[in-house]
């Protein structure tokens, strides 16, 4: 016999976004159940680097979301009872030539007008910022608001805080059915072990959000976008900031399904250097791409020649939840009353999780939202689906 529980909201997904939704919803006074087919941070969150970036986002809705999240992460780093390895390391975006330098300066000027702290660094001052950078670069922009957390720790601490506020957590239970009333409203979920009755279901399942949407009788075109990370042997702090090439921004915004790589290099408090990044859409194919790994290693050495003799201890990969317009889906789905989405953040989910959770909680409680949710409407792809 299935166990039964009644709550105000069921959050499907125990990654960092689902954890943030549960955290802010419980703080708003809601009774919440979190369910996940695996363990906390067992999907995309556990394969992330923990980046909290404003530097890679042009002015617009995603940058607004990132700025709100940046302030919330600072608060969470102080409020959560155990550490999340929050590090306000700052980011440095480098330009290889004058053309990239001009484009980077234009983007930084637009971001600065939107409230981002962006400081131009001429080529002759780069060694003061990053002593081991390759010579010959045209310039860089320093973004002191960029930061980092340990993503699995962040997710687990948020979940633990939500549990302390009354949330229940059901792990290793796959959702087999999204319950809908005869009138078409959400009525909860059924798992392999229990039935969770609730008027609200939050789809925070990352790359698998399309499948949960389908269980609820609707559509959301979330697709997996695979990426790899290289992890070096522990080193002294040879890389002070998160450093990446200006070309990375274009890769993030690209719609291409083919393999793309651009150098992203950062140190960690524990010593290893993390090296990215790659992007390609190959479905859920978990095949190790030696081409991607080689290209990432080569580009990292081009940026930091000191890494040429460093050993790589391991490589891992994850699947970013990609939506065609590169904006997440956040909020109520008008096609299925009671269904809410918090997904499709692609590679920015860790950074954008707190703002997503706060906005979701505000929507559930009828509070005035901190940001306009219109750009993130889950049904904004409906006309594209109908005409596909």
Instruction: Going residue by residue through the chain, which has 388 residues, state the pLDDT in tens, using 9 for 90 and above.
Output: 688 999 999 999 999 999 999 999 999 999 999 999 999 999 989 888 889 999 999 999 999 999 999 999 999 999 997 889 999 999 999 999 999 999 999 999 999 999 999 999 999 999 999 999 999 999 999 999 999 999 999 999 999 999 999 999 999 999 999 999 999 999 999 998 999 999 999 999 999 999 999 999 999 999 999 999 999 999 999 999 999 998 877 666 556 677 788 889 999 888 999 998 888 888 888 887 889 899 999 999 999 999 999 999 999 888 999 999 999 999 999 999 999 999 999 989 999 999 999 999 999 999 999 999 999 999 999 865 444 4
Give me Rg for the CA atoms of the chain. 21
Q: What is the rounded distance in angstroms from the CA atom of residue 289 to the CA atom of residue 317? A: 10
Q: Strand 168-171 to strand 32-36: parallel, antiparallel, or no bridges (unpaired)?
A: parallel
Q: What is the rounded distance in angstroms from the CA atom of residue 22 to the CA atom of residue 63? A: 23
Q: What is the rounded distance in angstroms from the CA atom of residue 13 to the CA atom of residue 307? A: 37
Q: What is the rounded distance in angstroms from the CA atom of residue 227 to the CA atom of residue 218? A: 28
> For the chain, how far is it from start to end, CA to CA, in angstroms?
43
| Contact present, 94 and 245 (Cβ < 8 Å) | yes
**For residue 209, how many other CB atoms are within 10 A of its CB?**
27
User: For residue 124, what is the DSSP state?
Assistant: G
Question: Across the chain, where does the E strand assignment appear?
Answer: 3-6, 9-12, 32-36, 51-52, 91-95, 119-122, 139-143, 147-148, 168-171, 175-180, 186-191, 194-197, 201-203, 223-232, 242-245, 260-267, 273-279, 312-322, 329-332, 339-343
| Closest alpha carbon to 289 in 238, 213, 230, 249 | 230
Q: What is the rounded distance in angstroms from the CA atom of residue 41 to the CA atom of residue 164? A: 19
């Amino acid at each position: 016999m299935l166990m039964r529980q009644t709550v105000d909201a069921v959050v499907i997904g125990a990654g960092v976004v689902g954890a943030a939704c549960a955290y802010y919803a419980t703080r708003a006074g809601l009774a919440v159940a979190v369910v996940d087919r695996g363990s906390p941070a067992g999907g995309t969150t556990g394969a992330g680097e923990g980046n909290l970036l404003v530097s890679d986002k042009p002015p617009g809705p995603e940058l607004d979301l990132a700025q709100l999240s940046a302030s919330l992460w600072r608060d969470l780093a102080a409020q959560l009872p155990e550490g999340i390895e929050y590090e306000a390391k700052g980011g440095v975006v480098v330009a290889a030539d004058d053309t990239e330098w001009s484009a980077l300066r234009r983007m930084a000027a637009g971001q600065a007008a939107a409230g981002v702290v962006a400081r131009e660094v001429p080529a002759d001052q780069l060694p003061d910022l990053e002593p081991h950078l390759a010579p010959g670069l045209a310039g860089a922009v320093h973004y002191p608001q960029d930061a980092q957390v340990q993503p699995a720790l962040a997710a687990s601490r948020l979940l633990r805080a939500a549990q302390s506020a009354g949330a229940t957590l059901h792990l290793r239970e796959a959702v087999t059915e999204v319950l809908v009333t005869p009138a078409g409203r959400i009525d909860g979920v059924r798992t392999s072990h229990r039935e969770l009755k609730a008027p609200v279901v939050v789809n925070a399942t990352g790359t698998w959000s399309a499948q949960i949407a389908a269980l609820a009788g609707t559509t959301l075109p979330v697709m997996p976008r695979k990426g790899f990370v290289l992890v070096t042997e522990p080193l002294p702090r040879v890389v002070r900031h998160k450093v990446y090439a200006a070309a990375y921004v274009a890769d993030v915004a690209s719609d291409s399904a083919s393999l793309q790589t651009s150098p992203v290099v950062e140190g960690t408090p524990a010593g290893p250097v993390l090296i990215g990044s790659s992007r390609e859409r190959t479905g859920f194919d978990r095949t190790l791409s030696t081409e991607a790994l080689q290209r990432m290693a080569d580009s990292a050495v081009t940026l930091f020649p000191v890494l040429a003799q460093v050993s790589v201890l391991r490589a891992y990969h994850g699947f970013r939840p990609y939506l065609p317009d590169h904006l997440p889906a956040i909020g109520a789905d008008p096609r299925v009353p009671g269904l809410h989405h918090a997904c499709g953040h692609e590679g920015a989910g860790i950074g954008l999780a707190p703002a997503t959770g706060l906005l979701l909680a505000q929507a559930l409680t009828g509070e005035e939202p901190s940001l306009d949710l219109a750009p993130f409407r889950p049904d904004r792809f409906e006309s594209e689906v109908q005409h596909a």
